[in-house]
Amino acid sequence: MSNMMSCKEICAHQAGSQQADLGWRLRLELSLHLMMCGNCRMAAKQFRLMLSTTPRRQAEAPSEAQIKHWMIGVARALENSKEHKSN
């Protein structure tokens, strides 16, 4: 087997895909690392908790009215920022 995976690689695999999607060798390396590294075990547990509690829904595209409202808010914020800088 190759060198042990780094914590950074473990986090990338945890965030990027489900473990079932990985090949057997990668799953084995991941499991071995998680058995030895308490920090990565805790991070994996927190990541699973986050995924289980986050609602899964498709974001709808904003309407024209929402975009216009946001743009007005941005313009006002810029004006206020300019006024504060000049004072």
For 28-69, what is each residue's pLDDT tens digit?
A: 888 888 899 999 888 888 888 887 887 776 677 888 888 889
Q: Residues 59-82: what's their mean pLDDT? A: 84
- pLDDT reported for residue 1: 45
- pLDDT reported for residue 74: 87
Spatial CA neighbour of 5 closest among 47, 13, 18, 41: 13
- pLDDT reported for residue 57: 67
- pLDDT reported for residue 19: 56
Q: Is the pTM of this model over 0.75?
A: no
- Judge contact between 1 and 30, C-beta under 8 A: no
- pLDDT reported for residue 58: 65
